[in-house]
Amino acid sequence: MKKAYLSTFALLILLVALVYSPLTAEAAAFSPELRSLLQSVHGGEEISVLVSLSDRVDVRQIKGRNKRDLRADLIRILKEKASGTQRPIRDFLELKGASKIKSLWLINAIAVTAPAGVIEELGSFSGVEEIRLDRTISVPVVSQGISAATEWNLNSIHAPELWNLGYIGAGVVVATMDTGVDANHPDLAGKWRGGSNSWFDPNDEHDTPYDADGHGTQVMGIIVGGDNGGTAIGVASGSTWIAVKIFNDKGQGPYSAVHEGFQWLLDPDGNPATDDAPHVGRSAWTSPI
């Protein structure tokens, strides 16, 4: 009886090893920054990383009758590819007790926070192309310019001439990825599209539009702001807006939040069959992500 139990246990260990072991001897590339960090910390210290997989969708092969069908097919295929290729890695991470596991289906990657030892193990998984730190970016510092004529920027791009022709952005949905948006700002009030598919905070701090810094509100104002202050401040005041708050209230945003933001903009309600993506997307920051 004991012998039979040991045999069954050994078989279980073998099966687990087959499921979670690499199929090839080729190891994934760790970014130089991550490799240096792994060499300087103990195995139990948690690190947030981005795990990129090599098997990606060739988007050039996706064809649709129109933009709506093309986008629906693209979203569906990207999600199916991520679901199938990421499953063994996600199972392994859950088994190891990793936290904050997020699928970045748009680029077929996984964002995860896990002990350094677990991240080292990930490097030997088949299909893992690269592992790098989930670094953070900071809110841009806004500098004050010299005094100029009222709304000189709008005049310089001849926006008033377009308004006179009736082009004010009616029917267009604009999105930003920034510090958020103050939906109660006098020049933005009533322009938010509204609903659960019109606001996304990957940092899980606010369920509805909010801006702790003001930068995102300023950016949105330049795009769709009205004339409550006496002069028009927005290029397309007839548009409605949605937004992603990639920066937390402290002004920091992890790379993973930026990637989550991009894929949310492609499919805000999580249903490829509904066409609720914005017509235009805008960001006012830069980072080599």
CATH of the domain at 124: 3.30.70.80
Burial of 2 (0-12, 13-18, 19+ CB in 10 A): exposed
Show the domain range for 225.
152-282
My answer on whether 126 and 157 are in the same domain is: no
My answer on whether 66 and 104 are in the same domain is: yes
Q: pTM, whole model, 2 decimals?
A: 0.85
- Which token pair is 189? 């009030």
pLDDT band at 289 (very low <50, low <70, confident <90, very high): low
My answer on whether 101 and 159 are in the same domain is: no
Sequence-distant contacts of 65-71: CB under 8 A, at least 24 apart: 68/275, 71/266, 71/272, 71/275, 71/277
Q: For position 240, what pLDDT does the model report?
A: 97
My answer on whether 179 and 272 are in the same domain is: yes
CATH number reported for the structural domain that contains residue 266 in this entry:
3.40.50.200
**Contact assessment for residue 57 and residue 107, using Cβ atoms and an 8 Å cutoff:** no
My answer on whether 179 and 220 are in the same domain is: yes
> Is 257 part of a structural domain of the chain?
yes
My answer on whether 119 and 185 are in the same domain is: no
My answer on whether 54 and 107 are in the same domain is: yes
Contacts of 203 (CB under 8 A, 6+ apart): 245, 246, 247, 248, 253, 257
> Is 143 part of a structural domain of the chain?
no
Residue that is last in its domain, among 75, 101, 134: 134
- Which token pair is 145? 């310019």
My answer on whether 129 and 156 are in the same domain is: no
Instruction: Say how far apart CA 67 and CA 266 lie, in whole Å.
Output: 12
In degrees and rounded to multiples of 5, residue 29 shows phi and psi of -85, 125
Q: What is the pLDDT of residues 72-107, one digit of tens each?
A: 999 999 999 999 999 999 999 999 999 899 999 999
> Is 232 part of a structural domain of the chain?
yes
> Is 244 part of a structural domain of the chain?
yes
- Which token pair is 109? 């990657």
Number of domains in the chain: 2
Contacts of 128 (CB under 8 A, 6+ apart): 28, 51, 52, 53, 54, 89, 122
Q: For position 141, what pLDDT does the model report?
A: 79
**Across all residues in the chain, what is the average pLDDT?**
87
